């Protein structure tokens, strides 16, 4: 009796996804998560790791994909806020919120005095510095032309050899006679 090869186990019938009906990619998920955290589309593309030449165009296309929109809707709002706040580095919005609170005199600050540590609202100096930091972050200050270093023009003229009299005069002027 001839030996026959054993048949491989039957594979489950898993339909191949049709073109355009594939699942959401990891980059699209990261993109949607950054959108949910409040970033604009272009910045969300960059933070998701895109190397697209024109990320704004790709982001616009992705925002029309049903799978991206469904994933975006599935993210709970509370979790989105906590993820944005839970990162180790403060976002620009968090810094601006903090500076605004200090500028408005809200919150508690600790002061060192002769009597010890006291707490109270931020002092005027802190409030002014917070207002300046907020203004700088929002681009309210314009560069003053007087603070910029003006370029100096150097003209290199061809030099002629010095005469012995000029050399002697230069030595006397420098005290090397």
Is residue 97 domain-resident?
Answer: yes
Is residue 148 domain-resident?
Answer: no
pLDDT of residue 33: 87
Residues 6+ apart with CB under 8 A from 106: 121
Model-level pTM greater than 0.75? no
Phi-psi domain of 76 (left: phi exceeds 0; alpha: psi -120 through 50; beta: other)? beta
Residue appearing with tokens 């681009």: 139
Is residue 2 domain-resident?
Answer: no
pLDDT at 85 over 80: no
Identify the domain boundary among 39, 59, 86.
86
Is residue 118 domain-resident?
Answer: yes
76: containing domain: 26-86
At residue 125, the 3 state secondary structure works out as helix
- Give rounded-to-5 percent helix, strand, coil for the chain: 50, 5, 45
Q: Tokens in use for 139?
A: 């681009």
Q: Is residue 53 domain-shared with residue 71, that is, in the same domain? A: yes
Q: Is residue 101 domain-shared with residue 79, that is, in the same domain? A: no
pLDDT of residue 19: 60
As for how many domains the chain has, the answer is 2
Q: Which of 5-9, 129-133, 160-164, 165-169 has the lowest mean pLDDT?
A: 5-9
Q: Which of 63-72, 122-131, 153-162 has the lowest mean pLDDT?
A: 153-162
Q: Is residue 97 domain-shared with residue 78, that is, in the same domain? A: no
Average pLDDT of span 152-174: 77
Is residue 110 domain-resident?
Answer: yes
Per residue in 88-143, pLDDT tens?
Answer: 667 778 888 888 888 898 888 887 888 888 888 888 888 888 888 888 877 777 66
73-80: long-range contacts, CB 8 A cutoff, minimum separation 24: 75/32, 75/33, 75/36, 80/33, 80/36, 80/37
């Amino acid at each position: 009796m001839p030996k026959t090869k054993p048949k491989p186990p039957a594979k489950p019938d898993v339909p191949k996804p049709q073109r355009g009906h594939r699942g959401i990619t990891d980059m699209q998920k990261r993109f949607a998560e950054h959108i949910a955290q409040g970033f604009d589309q272009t910045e969300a593309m960059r933070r998701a790791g895109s190397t697209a030449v024109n990320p704004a165009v790709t982001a616009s296309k992705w925002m029309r994909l049903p799978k991206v929109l469904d994933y975006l809707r599935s993210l709970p709002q509370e979790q989105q806020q906590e993820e944005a706040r839970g990162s180790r580095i403060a976002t620009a919005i968090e810094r601006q919120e903090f500076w605004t609170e200090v500028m408005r005199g809200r919150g508690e600050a600790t002061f060192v005095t002769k009597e010890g540590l006291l707490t109270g609202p931020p002092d005027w100096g802190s409030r002014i510095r917070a207002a300046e930091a907020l203004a700088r972050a929002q681009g309210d200050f314009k560069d003053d032309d007087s603070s910029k270093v003006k370029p100096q023009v150097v003209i290199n003229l061809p030099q002629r050899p010095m005469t012995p009299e000029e050399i002697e005069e230069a030595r006397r002027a420098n005290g090397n006679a």
